Amino acid sequence: MKTDERILQFFAEHEGTYLSGETLAKNLDMSRAAVWKAIQKLTEQGHVIDSQHHVGYRYQSGKVLSAPMIKQLTHNDWHIQLLGSVDSTNTYAKKMLARGDVTVPTMIVANQQTGGRGRLGRTFVSPADTGLYISFALPLPIGTLVLPGLLTTGTAVAVSRAIKKTIGIELDFKWVNDLLFKNRKVGGILTEAVMDFESQQVSAIVVGIGLNLQRPKNLDATLENKVGGMVTELTVSRNTIVAALCDEFVKLYAEYTDGSFLTAYRKRNIVIGRTITVKYGKELVTGVAKAIDEQGQLLVDTGDDIKIINSGEVLKVQLPNDVYQG
Ligand code: BTN
């Protein structure tokens, strides 16, 4: 590992702490001059390192998203692209994939979205600094099996694992793609396909994840009682959370088709036993959500028969008054 990478690693392990040049030099077995040089290099690369005379250096990872820091903290070799502000990371990812600019699995992260998109044409409020907006751009080698229902439910489990590891809270799921904490929506997943024009086949998948780590301010009246945040104050850096999420997603993507995560998904899903309204073909059907099957689909008992609902079709879930109703 290069000198600057070793320093970055040490900063990552001592988040939020001032480290003197001497401490860094001693622990990493290098000269003070080498430390100073490496810190200059890291600053030039875009890292924000606070330097206090007679105190030392502190990596300001808390507020600033940094691609090299995320890279340093992950345990996989997927590509990472960090954007300050973008309309939508999903739209961006789809464009890059369609143009052939992304040819290997890539995580695209933005600090802010000006046109964040949710399911069913909704918007996803995406202010700077308090949330995370991530799209996994996944080119599909010919013949790859894609099971969108399982990919979305599996992603929910991957996100919840990363949040448990880093923030320490347990998220609930509202089938199929809503992430809840304390009965408020704190995140959502939007899985989209990219079609190859010539072959008319799906050539890539984009899995978009939006998280309100802190509750967005100035929500409009319709969202006021529905949207929440995971924490009031962020004590873990977003780089750490993104890195954990990336690792969990990479693991999940390698094995999601076996559905082994479904036990965890079912355990924290709040929809089972509730009355829901779904679009089934051209009709609207109301029934009781009974179970989630092995493909991640919802089985709904309408009274006459059991309908099998896939991800695009739920319109309304009747939940107790204090629970987010999407
Ligand atoms: C939903 O709640 O309906 C899904 C929300 C998905 C939001 C994420 S944020 C990152 C990615 N880019 C988008 O425009 N949408 C997804």
10-27, pLDDT tens digit by residue?
988 887 789 999 999 999
Amino acid 310: pLDDT: 82
Residue 160 has pLDDT above 90, yes or no: yes
Binding site residues for biotin, as ranges? 88-90, 113, 117-119, 185
Q: Best substitution site from 133, 245, 314 to test ligand 1's pocket, by max atoms within 8 Å of Cβ?
A: 133
Q: What is the pLDDT of residues 183-197, one digit of tens each?
A: 999 999 999 999 887
- Comparing 208-222, 228-242, 279-293, 306-320, the range with the smallest average pLDDT is 306-320
Can you tell me the distance from the alpha carbon of 93 to that of 90, in angstroms, rounded to the nearest whole number? 5
Q: Which residue's CA is the nearest one to ligand 1's atom 2?
A: 188
Segment 213-218 mean pLDDT: 92
**Cα 2 to averaged position of ligand 1 atoms, centre (Å):** 37
Is the CB of residue 75 below 6 angstroms from any atom belonging to ligand 1? no
Arithmetic mean of pLDDT over the chain: 90
**Cα 185 to averaged position of ligand 1 atoms, centre (Å):** 12
Q: Which residues 6+ apart lie within 8 Å of 81 measured at CB?
A: 67, 106, 107, 108, 109
Is the CB of residue 71 below 6 angstroms from any atom belonging to ligand 1? no
Is the CB of residue 119 below 6 angstroms from any atom belonging to ligand 1? yes
Q: Which residue's CA is the nearest one to ligand 1's atom 7?
A: 210
Can you tell me the distance from the alpha carbon of 218 to that of 154, in angstroms, rounded to the nearest whole number? 31
Amino acid 314: pLDDT: 62
Task: Name the pLDDT band for 324 (thresholds 50, 70, 90).
Answer: low
pTM recorded for the entire structure: 0.88
Residue 57 has pLDDT above 60, yes or no: yes
Is the CB of residue 153 below 6 angstroms from any atom belonging to ligand 1? no
Is the CB of residue 190 below 6 angstroms from any atom belonging to ligand 1? yes
**Cα 133 to averaged position of ligand 1 atoms, centre (Å):** 7
Q: What is the DSSP string of 146-161?
A: --HHHHHHHHHHHHHH
Instruction: For 1-37, give one letter per residue: b (16+ CB within 10 A) or e.
Output: eebbebbbebbbeebeeebebebbbeebebeeebbee
| Per-residue tokens: 162 | 């990363």
Can you tell me the distance from the alpha carbon of 243 to that of 129, in angstroms, rounded to the nearest whole number? 16
Is the CB of residue 174 below 6 angstroms from any atom belonging to ligand 1? no
Can you tell me the distance from the alpha carbon of 308 to that of 278, in angstroms, rounded to the nearest whole number? 10
Q: What is the pLDDT of residues 254-277, one digit of tens each?
A: 999 999 999 999 999 998 999 988
Segment 76-82 mean pLDDT: 97
Instruction: For 76-93, give one letter per residue: b (16+ CB within 10 A) or e.
Output: bebebbbbeebebbbbbb
**Cα 189 to averaged position of ligand 1 atoms, centre (Å):** 6
Domains and CATH numbers, the chain: 3-60 (1.10.10.10), 67-267 (3.30.930.10), 275-325 (2.30.30)
